[in-house]
Structure 1
Amino acid sequence: MVNKTSSSTYQPGRNINDIQKTYGIKKVIKLASNENPLGPSKKAVIAANTITKYLNRYPDSKSINLKKAIQEKISKKNITEDNIIIGNGSNEILELVARKYLSQNSEVLFCKHSFLVYKIISNTMSAKIIESKPISTKDNSFMGVDLDSMKSKITSKTRVIFIANPGNPTGVALPIKDIEVFIKKISKKIIVVIDEAYYEYSSYYGFKSGISLLGKYPNIIITRSFSKIYALAGIRVGYGLASKEIINKFNDIRQPFNVNYIAQRMAKESLSDDKYLKKSLDLNNIGMQFLKLEFDQLKISYLKSSTNFITFYLGNKTQQVYEMLLSEGVILRSLENYGLPSYLRVTVGTKDENIMFIKKLKKSLKRIL
């Protein structure tokens, strides 16, 4: 069991205005929150600008058009509109899972160093939190979910298991076949949530989605976000995929107008912009390779990420470097809250942002030595 974590202890990446005022500097780059540096699809922005005259009307409470767009994008026979729920960010879907399946007498299971929201929503329902151990290497290059350790933590009270694939803040993805083997071994009464917030990035590197498992196992829920690859973090929209029975249970407890009109429309248009998606993925890969090469030259260990961020190891220099970078106008993510005080997380930015980060990192490391 772990200590309680409330929303007040969740510390998002520092914002640009805050750093500008604190340090009296003008140029600040934020590489802390895994946001797409390209910004939203132009098609999505144009769509948003054309619908403002309708904002006096309530949005479609069922998000029908967005569901149709998701169904077409996924192109799976086993996925219909009845298998989709739209949320105010994928976080809302995660919260619906907790509200429906967790209670004071139940247990929730996830790997240590997982997304902090899992703790927050579980604490809200007073569920007992159980953390399994991750697999890690001595050279600090790998830290993934240990499914055997996770299975050993299951009890008769386990109601929900969260598996982020790829993980956040690790960036490490699991082969979906390994997750299926795990699911086969556990009770079908346990809800397994596969959090695919970074799926589009991991698919670029060859990892497959858990969508193929939905028709086989009725206890699976998959969540996805428009905040990452589609750059819609500011308007909060995500979705969940599950059996019709589970989706109906969620619809019974969600707010009726949970996703606003602009969010629905921008998400729909984003899904149809394949050129934007490719451009975003290509830019990310170029930036990822650049950062890895620089880390290798600096002999800095980092986790093998399949996302748009890299978590790297600095040992006892971590906090000092983090603060120096802030003073130089570079915002990274401290991972102390995740139980990883010796690591920092950097989002892959534009070419200029990546270069600035490495330049300031080298300067900071030189000052410490």
Structure 2
Amino acid sequence: MESKYALRNLPVYQPGKSLEEVKQEFGLSEVVKLASNENPFGCSPKVWEALREEQAYTSLYPEGEAPQLRKELARRLRVDPGSLVFGNGSDEIVQMIARAYLDKGDEAIMAEATFPRYKTQTVIEGGIPVEVPLKDGVHDLEGMAAAVTERTRVIWVCNPNNPTGTMVSGKELEAFLKRLPEHVLVVVDEAYFEYVDAPSYPDSLSLLKKDPRLLVLRTFSKIYGLAAFRIGYGVTSEAIVGELNKVREPFNTNRIAQRAARAALTDQEFVRRCQQVNREGKEQIRAQLDLWGLSAFPTQGNFLLIDTGRSADEVYHALLQRGIIIRSGAALGYPTHIRVTIGSEEQNRLFLKELAACLKKPFRERG
């Protein structure tokens, strides 16, 4: 009964509004969604080619261990196949971690402004979330290390962080790990790591070989464009994989998602193109913000957290009526910021044009 009382104050996760919902609500024929950090270019064409082969197997249960995907991903990452665990999106692995490692009264440390499911899953399991404020939008690793107690079981580090897009470096992460006692599991969530271009970003898979307390989360939802399929993975020690498998549902990743992920891995040229267009889009938006005198956190993801200098909720609703879906930072602890996904060049242009109208700023077409 006590866990139910703890859940009363938990907010329900609110995804970005759908295209169909906004079209119907405001009578619009064209809507641009830049709210959920999705890939504006979809997924590799190789995915759809591969899925034709799955039509004959839709009546069969999927392989719970994802053997083919496990083998091919392990080869690509140069890790042991036994070090991989798969989830219905990497957020299901967040749930598995909380279920496997947190008992009532255990503590889990996380940033105050970060991916909200860390806190939610901690509370669901009867754990105590310990939130450490960010410093200039970046994880305060010193503060997080200082918050560790005998009851700490898990530390969550979202890198790059959602919603700020900021990152901790390899040196910072290594120094942080050295400060922690052995009873603490460190989860580094790298959902956006394919978008990172900073040379100082951690080589977390190499760190895994030296530190068995580390678990790295990644996903096919972002740059691979498979968010609708729900497939993510974790890389860690075989011992931790064994613990997670105890709480993993037997058929948690469906066969079609597994096949889609396998096909997506074969098209790294698609990934490179998406990386390049994301860099160009980031520059496109930043250049306009500079002209307006507006700031944004230095992002290593495919999104920007922009300080509009006005109520984020007001800007959000104004853009929504103009057919642009973004996220208000109000619920994220940033009442004047909006989070916007970096889209295609045309989507970015439309966003900037409508933002200019909302903020009464000049907008000049690029040409």
TM-score, scaled relative to structure 1: 0.93
Indicate conservation of the 8 Å contact 1:4/1:119, yes or no.
no
Q: State how far apart, in whole Å, the 2-side matches of 1:267 and 1:194 are.
A: 21
Give the equivalent residue in structure 2 for 1:69.
Answer: 72
Which one of the candidate residues 10, 15, 18 is aligned to 1:15?
18
Indicate conservation of the 8 Å contact 2:157/2:187, yes or no.
yes
Which one of the candidate residues 248, 251, 262 is aligned to 1:257?
251
Q: State how far apart, in whole Å, the 1-side matches of 2:245 and 2:313 are.
A: 44
Amino acid aligned to 2:259 = R
Aligned pairs for 1:112-151 within 5 A: 112-136=112-136, 143-151=137-145
Aligned pairs for 1:149-168 within 5 A: 149-168=143-162
**Moved segments of 4+, more than 4 Å:** 3-8
Give the equivalent residue in structure 1 for 2:100.
Answer: 100
Which one of the candidate residues 271, 274, 277 is aligned to 1:280?
274
Q: State how far apart, in whole Å, the 1-side matches of 2:202 and 2:214 are.
A: 16
Alpha-carbon shift at residue 119 of structure 1 (Å): 1.1
Q: State how far apart, in whole Å, the 1-side matches of 2:156 and 2:257 are.
A: 26
Q: State how far apart, in whole Å, the 2-side matches of 1:69 and 1:277 are.
A: 17
Amino acid aligned to 2:67 = I
Give the equivalent residue in structure 2 for 1:303.
Answer: 297
Q: State how far apart, in whole Å, the 1-side matches of 2:342 and 2:63 are.
A: 35
Amino acid aligned to 1:43 = K
Q: State how far apart, in whole Å, the 2-side matches of 1:65 and 1:199 are.
A: 23
Aligned pairs for 1:237-256 within 5 A: 237-256=231-250
Structure 1 51/7 Cα, relative in aligned 2: closer, same or farther at 3 Å?
farther
Higher mean displacement: 283-292 or 358-367: 358-367
Alpha-carbon shift at residue 208 of structure 1 (Å): 3.3
**Runs of 5+ in structure 1 lacking a partner?**
137-142
Amino acid aligned to 1:189 = H
**Runs of 5+ in structure 2 lacking a partner?**
1-5, 362-367
Structure 1 5/85 Cα, relative in aligned 2: closer, same or farther at 3 Å?
farther
Identity across aligned pairs (percent)? 35
Indicate conservation of the 8 Å contact 2:106/2:128, yes or no.
yes
Give the equivalent residue in structure 1 for 2:338.
Answer: 344
Indicate conservation of the 8 Å contact 1:5/1:119, yes or no.
no
Structure 1 5/232 Cα, relative in aligned 2: closer, same or farther at 3 Å?
farther
Amino acid aligned to 2:326 = L
Which one of the candidate residues 32, 40, 43 is aligned to 1:40?
43
Amino acid aligned to 1:13 = G
Alpha-carbon shift at residue 6 of structure 1 (Å): 6.9
Are 2:230 and 1:236 equivalent residues in the alignment? Answer: yes
Q: State how far apart, in whole Å, the 2-side matches of 1:64 and 1:335 are.
A: 40
TM-score, scaled relative to structure 2: 0.94
Give the equivalent residue in structure 2 for 1:196.
Answer: 190
Give the equivalent residue in structure 1 for 2:80.
Answer: 80
Which one of the candidate residues 178, 186, 190 is aligned to 1:184?
178
Amino acid aligned to 1:115 = F
Alpha-carbon shift at residue 235 of structure 1 (Å): 0.9
Alpha-carbon shift at residue 174 of structure 1 (Å): 1.1
Alpha-carbon shift at residue 196 of structure 1 (Å): 0.5
Alpha-carbon shift at residue 53 of structure 1 (Å): 1.9
Higher mean displacement: 252-261 or 45-54: 45-54
